[in-house]
Amino acid sequence: MNTNYKYRPKNIEEFIFANDKLECQIRKYSENRSMLPLILHGKFGTGKSLLAELIPKAIDGNEVFVNYVNAEDLNSANEVRTKFFRSSQFDHLFTPPNGQKNNYTVVEEVNFDPKAKGALRVCLDKMANRELFIFTTNDVHKIDEGLLSRSEVVEVSPIPPDRFLSRAQFIFRNEGIDLSDSEVFNLLDAVYEADGDNRSYYKVLDEVIESYLFN
């Protein structure tokens, strides 16, 4: 089994933050202290989608209902209104599903300037404080300035090797491999330098485990 799946963080406590600032910004959301739309941006494989999944779970449990919307739908004003907007009257009459504290909408891979940005801005304004919107993107420069100004923009960086070390050691030991911290750190450091992508850490762990078990 791939370590990326087997040891995937199941909750926000297991998530490894690349730095303290990121942890602080994410805790504000996972502890339900902010309803500003959240834009998570950063390179591929830094954990943006994982955070978008774990934040609603941290607030409303593992069975939380999340409205997932395709980024391409942001090109049509009609789709935006249909998929994003609910009247305040509706929210007044009906509480969120399963007694959830919040409603959630997650839009991933917004790597372009949406055509229906006007409709999106209006929806965000009308839904303010009633729905937590989480957007993920690899290219924050392409995002509409109106959307950026309404949101908390958080950079999700790759995890530095020193922060990933304990996780890597936990995985190795769990798989029966005993290596010194310096040996593992040197490997993680080389991976960080070459790829700067959290998934790459897991891939090399897979290779070491595979070599240990089967070669």
Neighbouring-strand partners of residue 131: 103
* Single-letter amino acid code for the residue at 3: T
Cα distance between residue 96 and residue 163, in whole Å: 37
Q: How far is the CB of 190 from other proteins (least distance, A)?
A: 4
Q: How far is the CB of 167 from other proteins (least distance, A)?
A: 16
Closer residue to other proteins, CB minimum distance, 24 or 194 = 194
Cα distance between residue 102 and residue 94, in whole Å: 12
Cα distance between residue 39 and residue 153, in whole Å: 5
Which span sits near other proteins by CB under 8 A: 14-22, 100-108, 128-136, 202-210? 202-210
147 contributes a contact to other proteins by CB under 8 A: no
Q: Longest C-alpha distance within the chain, in Å?
A: 64
Residues numbered 88-127 forming contacts with other proteins, rule: CB under 8 A: 118
Identify the CA nearest to 109 among candidates 52, 159, 55.
52
Among residues 16, 71, 148, 204, which is the contact residue for other proteins, using CB under 8 A?
204
Among residues 25, 187, 198, 202, which is the contact residue for other proteins, using CB under 8 A?
187
Among residues 14, 139, 162, 183, which is the contact residue for other proteins, using CB under 8 A?
183
190 contributes a contact to other proteins by CB under 8 A: yes
Closer residue to other proteins, CB minimum distance, 37 or 161 = 161
Cα distance between residue 31 and residue 58, in whole Å: 7
Total residues binding other proteins (CB under 8 A)? 22
207 contributes a contact to other proteins by CB under 8 A: yes
Closer residue to other proteins, CB minimum distance, 108 or 144 = 144
Cα distance between residue 182 and residue 194, in whole Å: 18
State the alpha helices, DSSP H only, in the chain.
3-6, 20-30, 48-60, 77-84, 88-93, 117-126, 145-150, 161-174, 181-194, 198-214
191 contributes a contact to other proteins by CB under 8 A: yes
The footprint of other proteins (CB under 8 A) covers: 118, 141, 146, 177-179, 183-184, 186-187, 189-191, 193-195, 204, 207-208, 211-212, 215
